[in-house]
Each structure stands twice: as structure tokens, then as C-alpha cells.
Amino acid sequence: MLIAQVTDLHLGFHPDDPAEMNRLRLDEILATLVALDPRPDLLVATGDLTEAGTIAAYETLKTIAAALPFPLLPVLGNHDDRDNFLKVFPDAPQAGGFVQYVHDAGPLRLIVLDTLEAGRHGGSFCEARAAWLAAALAASAKPTIVVLHHPPIETGSGWMTEDPDAAWVARLAAVLSGQTQVVRLIAGHLHRAIVTGWHGHVLAVCPSSAPQVALDFAALDPENPDGRDMVVAEAPGFALHYWTGRDLVTHFGAGGAHPVLARYNARMQPTVRHILAERRR
């Protein structure tokens, strides 16, 4: 099984421009995913679907989703507006007023969390959402991917990071403690590809389809704007999560055209034969 992930689309950053950069970057990723053989079984969009949570931006997303040859699972982020999202996607599953749901994906379950709190940049995960997650986890021992927008981790980046001692982080960690069926947490928000261990689980953060956050570990002073790079136009990124039947393997890629340096032809055939023969020993 192959699960594709995009994140931080920020559609509507330039609301009056149907060919805005963020839309074009997303289109590059989607063209890459559609051209894969085999194609992904589904696509997860892990939040910040829009820049400002407008009806128009969600309608753009709905048009995009309708043209895909695989289903799109939406997740809400801090740039989203829950009410406007539900006006455009009225059939989106909910739990207790939050866009939280379980998606059965054959050999896997995906549990989608809603970490949005209006007006807050960072994550939120209240007692009601935690109780729902605990019940969802208890319902099945099938291998499970937990999906959320906000990674509950400290990253080393001075402005795109989380307080590891925040109440919502501790609440999430408590619910996931000992849940051995959770094979991966996948998230977005940070606009960079990041992989780490977190309370006994593997967390994979997808790079954004919108521009990436500059890689910078220098201390940041909120009272001293020092002119450093903050957002850079690196290639639009995505993730592919491949289920082997035993493990989930995460790959990262970039949309758009790339120079091809080698193809599988007669010159490469001896190398391929050697590698495959070696695996059978």
C-alpha cells in the first residue's frame, strides 16, 4: 500500500490570482504523484490547506480533489477555518465538533486528529479530543497511522518549534503511551522534512508544497529582527509512506521536472542484475 502526503498548501495566499505560486507548486506535486506507477492509494493533506480559511480557497481545494484519481483525506491546521471548511466540505467526518475521524485503508487504519485552536499558531489537543483518540485506538489493534498537523516536538528552529512540555503535548503523549499498533505519526506545519523518535513512536514531518522554512538553528531574538532568511523557495515537497506488510517506510520527494542522469537500459542492466541476484543469496 502506498499513501501520499502533502502539507501546508496555503491556497489563497494571493486570493485574486488563480495561478498563484502556491497553486502552481501544488500542481507540480500532484502531477508527479499521478504519474507514479503504481499510483498512491490515497493522498493525505495534513493541514494549512488554505492561507486564510476562506470559502473561495476551500472551493479551489474541492475542485482539485475532484480531479484526483485517488481519494483526498483533509486535515486542519492553524491557517484553516473549521466553520468555512465544513461549509464547503459538509460531508467531512466530525467527532464532537472537531474534524477528527478514522479512515480504514485496507491493511492500515488512519486516525486523523484536529489540533486547530482558532487564533493560535501552535497546536492544541483538549481533553475531549484526547478521549476520542483513546477510544479510537482501543477499537482496533490494526496497524495505525496517527495523522495531525502540528508536530509535538522541539525542532531547534527558533520560530517553527513546539514547547515539548506544553499541556497538549503531554496529553497526546499520555494517550499514545503503550499503543504498539501505532506504526507512525505523520504531520506537517514545519515546512521541512523531519524525522524523529517521540515517546516510543516514529514521527515523520512532511515538507510543504508551499515554500519551505529556511534551515536555521541560530538563536532568535523576538526584539531584534536581524534580517535572516525565514522562508525560501526550495522545491515543493511531499512524502510517500509505503506499507511493506510489516513496516511503514517513508520517502520524501519533490515535485516538478528533474534532470535524469541514468535510465534502465542495456548499460545499467548488469548493475540491476547484480543487485537483485545479491538479494536472493
pLDDT tens profile 253-276: 999 889 999 999 999 999 999 999
Q: What confidence score (pLDDT) does residue 273 get?
A: 93
Q: What pLDDT, in 10s, does the model give residues 104-143?
A: 999 999 999 999 999 999 999 999 999 999 999 999 999 9
- Whole-number Å distance between alpha carbons of 93 and 82: 12
144 close to 108: Cβ distance less than 8 angstroms: yes
- Whole-number Å distance between alpha carbons of 151 and 57: 24
Reading the block at residue 255, the C-alpha cell is 515535485
A 10 A CB-CB count for 156 gives 12
Extents of the domains making up the chain: 2-279
Spans of the chain, pLDDT less than 50: none
pTM of the model: 0.96
Q: What confidence score (pLDDT) does residue 200 get?
A: 95
- Give residue 87's identity as a one-letter amino acid code: K
Query: If DSSP codes are grouped into helix, strand and coil, which group holds residue 194?
Result: strand
Q: What confidence score (pLDDT) does residue 272 get?
A: 93
Mean pLDDT of the chain: 96
Class of domain 2-279: alpha beta
Q: What confidence score (pLDDT) does residue 121 get?
A: 95
Q: What confidence score (pLDDT) does residue 82 get?
A: 98
Q: What confidence score (pLDDT) does residue 158 get?
A: 84
First to last CA, the chain: 26
Query: If DSSP codes are grouped into helix, strand and coil, which group holds residue 33?
Result: helix
206 close to 187: Cβ distance less than 8 angstroms: yes
Query: If DSSP codes are grouped into helix, strand and coil, which group holds residue 232?
Result: strand
Closest CA to 163 of 123, 128, 129: 123
- Whole-number Å distance between alpha carbons of 126 and 80: 18
Query: If DSSP codes are grouped into helix, strand and coil, which group holds residue 47?
Result: coil
Closest CA to 120 of 88, 87, 85, 166: 166
Reading the block at residue 108, the C-alpha cell is 492500515
- Give residue 244's identity as a one-letter amino acid code: T
Q: What confidence score (pLDDT) does residue 250 get?
A: 98
Reading the block at residue 249, the C-alpha cell is 517506510
46 close to 188: Cβ distance less than 8 angstroms: yes
